[in-house]
Amino acid sequence: MGILLNNPDFRRLFAGRLVTNAGDSLYFVAAMWLVWDLTGNEFYTGLAGFFTLAPAGLQFLFGPLVDRWPLRRLLVATQLLQGLLVLSVPAAHLTGHLSVWLVLAVMPSLALLNQLVYPAQTAAIPRIVHKDELVAANSLFALAYQGVDAVFNALAGVLVVVVGAVALFTLDAVTFVLAAALFSTLSVPRAGDTTVDLESESETRSGAPIRGVEPTPDGGQVPGDVVSEHEETAARESPDAAAADGDGGVSGYLADLRGGIAYLQGTFLVPMLLGSVVINFALGGTIAILPSYAAHVGGVDGYGYLMAALAVGILVGSLVASSLAGVAFGRLSIVAFLLSGVAWLGAITVGWLPGTVALFVIAFVPVGVTNVLIISVIQAVVPETLLGRVTAVLGSASAVSTPFGAFAGGAAASLVGPVAVITVAGVAFLLLAVYLASIPTLRQLPAVGDIDTLAAEQQST
């Protein structure tokens, strides 16, 4: 991992990820608690969860755009727009116009922009690191995502008590501006110009420009500090952009979208996605009613600790994922989710906040492991020119049930209470393990290093 952090482009992308994830954690905790504080009703927190999570189901629509647009400009623009959106909440508070409906409008708007941000970051990684560094790179990104969440989810719960939820939105705007500044220093090569020669002291790319410079349309090289003048032209000259222009824009976009969907057909990812629908439905319900559950066991501080527990568990799993890359993925997944289900149900029954938090950490460790390993497989198998749209399709397919779970969880909790809803989520983990064991294609998946061959064979059938 030390070699990765010596890579200046990866270091800048990683730093931007750290800062923007800190902002995401602050606004999500603040917004969910603000909705609960303004209404005191699980139905509205379920509605907030639905509106926040629903845009993930539309991620596949943004994939072709990620593959076409310059990634640096895309990342900078989305951060600045998110900063402006979060400022609307403190502005409304100052003018006496703050309402739950404004918060319910801001949350999905921020989430919608993130459907560009995360596929763009995923697509950028294999363009700036070597293939054999992908697992380590994704582990670090999971560290950025979950490690920051673990700290800032808990911190946000404390800050809500000290300074109030509205003030956190102002702080959040600052983090988005800082992230935009970091992303503006990136130099991301075009798709296809990414063969990294780590042995070269000059850090050149095979058939590609020197790190820190980008190609001009005539094949020359432009220093990284002036590449902004040529980035748009270079993007237009890329194969994807040329195809888009030749197909009349909209038809080219639709062809790209169909290509991302078609690529998945026949791979092991399709039955795996079916299992994730159930688990994501249950997780959506949990996220939606967690403020209500926390109010019963520890108030706003308890909400921060529970959110942090989820993030810590995924963080730990992400950090150990590299050491488990040689274990057969099918068997590893089955055992891991059995452990998750048992720990989850134990967390609900222990009846003591510290014990609940500790068991929730254990329950989410397998989620971190599988998240890192599966995204590494995708990045290794999928061609770079398809990676944005394929990743977006997978993200949409796996997340489409989450907002409906949030809405259903909020509605159910208003009738039967939050404990029953969270219990169902624990059972869903056990059912996922049973499902994985019952499908031979999933049960027999080899170690991550061998899955690319398996996927390629399935793709050709």
218 and 94 together in one domain: no
pTM score: 0.65
In a shared domain, residues 284 and 215: no
Burial of 259 (0-12, 13-18, 19+ CB in 10 A): middle
Residue 237's pLDDT is 39
**Are 395 and 321 in the same domain?**
yes
On whether residue 249 sits in a domain, the answer given is no
Residues 179 and 202 in one domain: no
Q: What is the pLDDT of residue 44?
A: 92
> Tokens in use for 438?
């019952």
Q: Does 99 lie in the same domain as 150?
A: yes
Residue 206's pLDDT is what? 34
Per-residue pLDDT of the chain (461 residues; tens, 9 = 90+): 567 777 888 888 888 888 888 888 888 888 988 998 889 888 999 999 898 888 877 777 777 788 788 888 899 999 999 999 999 999 999 999 999 999 999 999 998 998 888 788 878 888 888 877 777 787 778 766 666 776 777 777 778 777 888 888 998 899 999 999 999 988 877 665 544 443 333 333 333 333 333 333 333 333 333 333 333 333 333 444 444 444 446 677 677 777 777 877 777 777 877 877 788 888 889 888 888 888 777 666 677 788 778 878 887 887 888 888 888 888 998 999 999 999 999 998 987 888 999 999 999 998 888 878 777 767 666 777 777 777 777 777 777 788 899 999 999 998 998 989 999 999 999 999 999 999 998 898 888 777 655 444 444 44
244 in a structural domain: no
Q: Distance between CA 220 and CA 46 in Å, rounded?
A: 54
d(CA 86, CA 168): 9
3-state secondary structure labels for all residues of the chain? CHHHHCCHHHHHHHHHHHHHHHHHHHHHHHHHHHHHHHHCCHHHHHHHHHHHHHHHHHHHHHHHHHHHCCHHHHHHHHHHHHHHHHHHHHHHHHCCCCCHHHHHHHHHHHHHHHHHHHHHHHHHHHHHCCHHHHHHHHHHHHHHHHHHHHHHHHHHHHHHHHCCHHHHHHHHHHHHHHHHHHHCCCCCCCCCCCCECCCCCCCCECCECCCCEEECCCCCEEEHHHHHHCHHHHHHHCHHHHHHHHCCCHHHHHHHHHHHHHHHCCCCHHHHHHHHHHHHHHHHHHHHHHHHHHHHHCHHHHHHHHHHHHHHHHHHHHHHCHHHCCCCHHHHHHHHHHHHHHHHHHHHHCCCHHHHHHHHHHHHHHHHHHHHHHHHHHHHHCCHHHHHHHHHHHHHHHHCCHHHHHHHHHHHHHHHCHHHHHHHHHHHHHHHHHHHHHCHHHHCCCCHHHHHHHHHHHHHC
- Confirm whether 28 is domain-assigned: yes
Statement to judge: residues 7 and 108 lie in one domain: yes
The answer to whether residues 110 and 154 belong to one domain is yes
- Position 218 in a domain: yes
What's the burial of 461, exposed, middle or buried (CB within 10 Å: 0-12/13-18/19+)?
A: exposed
Q: Does residue 208 belong to any structural domain of this protein? A: yes
CA–CA separation, 146 and 396 (whole Å):
20
Residue 446's pLDDT is: 82
Residues 26 and 172 in one domain: yes
Instruction: Examine residue 243 and state whether it is found in any structural domain, yes or no.
Output: no
One-letter identity of residue 304:
G
In this structure, is residue 294 part of a structural domain? yes
Angle at 436 between CA 435 and CA 438, to 5 degrees: 65
Residues 21 and 93 in one domain: yes
Residue-wise pLDDT for 396-424, tens only, equals: 777 778 889 999 999 999 899 898 999 99
**pLDDT at 250 (0 to 100):** 65
Model pLDDT for residues 445-459, shown as the tens digit of each residue: 888 777 655 444 444
* 313, 181: one domain: yes
Whether residue 228 sits in one domain with residue 133: no
229 and 376 belong to one structural domain = no
pLDDT score of 84: 94
Token pair listed for 2: 């030390």
Q: Which range marks the domain in which residue 125 is found?
A: 2-189+259-460
Q: Report how many domains make up the chain.
A: 2
Residue 436 located in a structural domain: yes
Q: Please, are residues 426 and 307 in contact by the beta-carbon 8 Å criterion?
A: no
CATH number at residue 81: 1.20.1250.20
* pLDDT of the residue at 437: 94
